[in-house]
Amino acid sequence: MSEYLDRYGRAKSVCHRLPPRLKLLLSLAAITIGMLIPPAHWPAHGSLLCVLFAALSLARIPFRFVARRLAGFLLVVLMFGITVPLSQGFRGGWEMMAGIVFRGIESFLAGLWLVNVIPFDQLLSTLRHSGAPAILLAILAFMYRFVFVLWDELDKMRTARRARSFDRGGAIFRWRNAAQMIGMLLIRALGRSERVYGAMCARGWDGKLRTLDE
């Protein structure tokens, strides 16, 4: 899963050297501008897309990575967007859908640029310095820390299941199996959270997150 996340966040480029808060603001600005351009102004949307692609290549994010992520995103957004012309008739519907898809792509690329020029922990500390609520950031940091652990746990469970069932069985069997896997993951995660909480208390946890950059 690691390739999906902030894969190029720690690479080096002009964009990575910008101050963290400026990166956040730039990405927000790009999304806001995309929202403000009226749907039918295609040249404006096109030039915003050019700027975004230029920013992505300045950050030295490989085009294949962008294209693969964009393809996955487009699949979802088109499936979602097709409901508009289907329900609104094909005359005005297509234009409405095109506007939606363009804005979606702009927002997606701006987000992709942001996570790939700034590592997640730095993003969190930038947000903290900008005044976001500390408890939410602590939860996010905790979640980011343990989501990879749980993914590994899930992988182990999948391997064990494959070793036993050879991925055979009917639809009902598979569904029940998958649901049991989630249930098992849930039980293990809650148990782990108890243990981690105990360990955190033993190290003086008082509900406040402290980081090295303070």
Tell me which stretch binds other proteins (CB under 8 A): 13-21, 47-55, 56-64, 82-90: 82-90
Count of C-beta atoms within a 10 Å radius of residue 191: 10
> Helix axis angle, 92-117 relative to 63-81, nearest 10°?
140
> What mask of x and - would describe binding to other proteins in positions 122 to 151, judged by CB under 8 A?
-x---------x-xx-xxxxxxxxxx-xxx
CB of 92 to other proteins, least distance (A): 6
Interaction residues for other proteins, span 4-33 (CB under 8 A): 4-6, 28, 31
Min dist. Cβ of residue 17 to other proteins (A) = 21
> 5 with 115: CB under 8 angstroms?
yes
Q: Does 2 bind other proteins (CB under 8 A)?
A: no
Nearer to other proteins, 94 or 144 (CB): 144
Q: Which of 43, 23, 44 is nearest to 35 (CA)?
A: 44
Least distance in Å: CB of 128 to other proteins? 14
Residues 158-187 that bind other proteins (CB under 8 A): 171, 174-176, 178-187
Site for other proteins in 35-64 (CB under 8 A): 35
Query: Could you tell me the smallest distance in angstroms from the CB atom of residue 63 to other proteins?
Result: 17
- Select the residue interacting with other proteins from 89, 129, 169, 173 (CB under 8 A): 89
Nearest to 83 by CA among 69, 109, 71, 101: 101
Among 1, 29, 50, 67, binds other proteins (CB under 8 A): 1
Residue in 23, 34, 52, 117 binding other proteins, rule: CB under 8 A: 34
| Piece of 13-21, 47-55, 59-67, 80-88 that binds other proteins (CB under 8 A) | 80-88
Token pair listed for 174: 């598979």
Nearer to other proteins, 42 or 197 (CB): 197
Among 15-23, 47-55, 56-64, 68-76, which window interacts with other proteins (CB under 8 A)?
68-76
